[in-house]
Structure formats: C-alpha cells, structure tokens
Amino acid sequence: MATISDCGICLGKFQDPKLLPCSHTFCKQCLEGLPVGCNGSITCAECRAEIPLPSNGVDGFPSNRYMEEILRRDRNDDRRKCEMHDQPFTIYCNEKHCQTLACATCCILGLKHGGHKVVDVQEKGKEIRDEFDKNVEKYDSARETLYEKIEKVDDVRQKILNNSAKVQEELDTFKARLMEKIENSIQDLKAYAEEKAMAELAKIDDASSTLRDKVKTLNKTIAAMNMMKQVLDDGNVYNLIDKMDTLCLDDDPYCGQLWV
C-alpha cells in the first residue's frame, strides 16, 4: 500500500525529493526522466499541470525538507525501538500533550500512555496521507482559481495593449491628415500673400511711373523758364514775346500758367 513517503512515478520511497510549484513531490531522478516539452516545461504526473523547468534543470526545484524529515524518521523508525521495553514502535499516541510513537507494552501497562487515545502507526500514516491529499486538493482548487484570474488579467492586459496600439495608429493618421491640411493652408496663404504683394507692387510701379513722368515734364518747364529768364536779363523783352509760342511745350501742363 502506497504511503505518504512513496513517489508517484517510481512508486518507491522518495530519493532526493523535489517539490514542484503545484505542491506535488517526486524523486529528483524521476523528474529528470520526464520528457521536456517544446516550451521548456514538464508535466506533473499527479495533476498534469505544465511546470516550467528552471534554467538549471530539476536541480532548480526546491527540496521538500518536510518529506526529507519524514524519510529520515522512517529510516530511523525501522531501527528504533522502545528503550524501556526493547519493542518496536507500532502505536502512535494522539493525546495533545504526547503526539509521539509508542510500543504496545507502554500502552498496555499504562506506564506512559495508559488511557490515552492511540492508533496504529500505519493508520496514523494513512491519516496524515489523507490530510495531505485534502490539502493538495484544496490547493489545486485554489491554484485553478488563480489560473483563471491570471487568464482574465492577461486578457484585460492584451485588450489594453491592443486598444493602445489602435489609439496610437489613429493618432498617427490624424496627425498626418492634420499636417497635410496645415501644409496646404500654408501654401494657400503664401500664394495669397504673393498675389496681394504683386498687385500692390503693380499699383506702386504705376504711381512711380506717373510721378517720374511729371518730374520729367517739370524739368523741361524749369529749363524753359530759365532760358526765358536769361532772355529777360539780356533786355530782349520783345524778342522773348516773339518766341513765346515756341517756348511753350505741347505736353507741358504748367506752360499756360506762366502768363496768368
């Protein structure tokens, strides 16, 4: 009959027991014989959970110190006997203040455990094993609940990442369109500004040309007046009057004003 100290793979007593994250224990050599999946995991022989293999292999799993202590006691129990009666320990005292092994004589004679609640050692071992099974079942259930929560959290995380990527993509598209509109608006404003500037320059050029023409006309009038002044200075008044018609320029708007 299997006991708490038996390996679930080789069915023998544990040799260098290693504790897996799923709370199950196996011999180190038995774990080393398990196939490793492509994802670097091994499968628990008890609950079939996928267990990631540490970087240093099976050695990376912690040793089950509690099981090592049980094995040590089992090995000692095979040789230990009651020092008082030189009989093997076959009974376990369940009294709260005892909780220890005893021989049949100790219980029958009542020297140490008379009237105490006692059970067979193998029965006690089975009781401990059953308690372990219950705890493992409870922990397995708790672990499955945690796995479900982790899966939900991972789903939420992935959705957040997907939404973030989508928002970033939409923002990049919006930015590109906005920059295109801004660039088009700038080009339109530049064209409008250039058109307005050219129109204003055309007006300025026309005004400048008109003013320059007037300056030329005035220059001619001033030259004629200076000549007439010279004639007057020479005392040739009659000669000036005779030549007045020839001195007046056809395109001089100021000529007629000389004799007003």
pLDDT at residue 30, rounded to an integer: 93
Q: Which of 256, 237, 8 is nearest to 136 (CA)?
A: 8
Which residues make Cβ contacts (< 8 Å) with residue 237, sequence separation at least 6?
Answer: 231
Which residues, in sequence order, are CB contacts of 25 under 8 Å at separation 6+? 7, 14, 17, 18, 19, 64, 67
pLDDT < 70: residue spans in the chain:
1-2, 74-83, 86, 89, 104-105, 107-115, 235-260
Residue 71 and residue 15: Cα distance in Å, rounded?
9
Q: What is the pLDDT of residue 259?
A: 44
Domains of the chain: 1-79 (3.30.40.10), 221-259 (no CATH)
Q: What's this model's pTM, rounded to 2 decimal places?
A: 0.36
Q: Which residues contact 3 (CB under 8 A, 6 or more apart)?
A: 125, 126, 129
pLDDT digits (tens, 9 = 90+) for 185-235: 999 999 999 999 999 999 999 999 999 999 998 888 888 888 777 777 776
